[in-house]
Amino acid sequence: MNNKFQLEMLTGPTPGKIFPIADDQVIGGREPSCDIVINDAEISRKHFRLVWSDPGYILEDLGSTNGILVNEVKMNTPQGLHGGEKLSLGGKVVLEYRVIPIELEETIIFDNVELPPEHIDDLVEPIETEPGDNDQELFGPDVEPIQDELSSTEVPMEGSELDPTQKRSKKKKILLITLIIMAVVVIGLLIIYLYTAPTSFWCENFPFIFKPEIYPVCAP
């Protein structure tokens, strides 16, 4: 067999229990002599049988009282099982048929001698190096160590002096903001002055608008 086979109880008297399947014939039921014993009242004494037929198992109903459902479909004749299929026995017991590939053990061959992985480290001596030594051997003649590149890279720090172009741009922004603030202040003062100016001011400075025949207050 290239795979391992098992049944896992999803629901029933012992949920989560694993039943390994390795023999050519496996019988399951309530009877203690069965290969897979399921202690449930709705399970027959000998409920089902699994028969090996490469590459898997064939499920047979041994004349059980409550029958077998495979993926919720009643089974009337023997049928081959596939990994992941669910077998319902009675009304409470559900088993999942699982196919697990056999993983090859990791080995390393030295002069036709197989060694388990835990002994590999004993045969490999660690290479001891000191920081900064043999950089050219590690990186190659055409590659400079990374540390040298990092140390040669200049990163501007916060608060460092700006170049002349940046200084001029900053001065222009400050001057523009100052002029805008001054213009707003002057316009505001002018509006306040005109609003509080006496009537004579308007009559004397704007006679073409404030004519005496229209505005008697402007009459001499």
**For residue 25, what pLDDT is reported?**
97
**For residue 206, what pLDDT is reported?**
73
Check if the beta carbon of residue 119 is closer than 8 Å to that of residue 107: no
Please provide the size of the chain in residues.
Answer: 220
86 SS3 class: strand
Q: Which residues pair with 18 in a beta bridge?
A: 8
pLDDT digits (tens, 9 = 90+) for 46-97: 999 999 998 899 999 999 999 999 999 999 999 999 999 999 998 899 999 9
Q: What angle do CA 186, 191, 195 make, to 5 degrees?
A: 150
Q: Which residues pair with 88 in a beta bridge?
A: 69, 94
**For residue 158, what pLDDT is reported?**
54
To the nearest 10°, report the CA torsion of 40, 44, 45, 47: -110
- Cα–Cα distances (Å) from 201 to 189, 212, 214, 220, in that order, read 17, 14, 16, 13
- The span from the CA of 164 to the CA of 167, in Å, is 5
- Residue spans of the chain under pLDDT 50: 104-111
- The span from the CA of 137 to the CA of 139, in Å, is 6
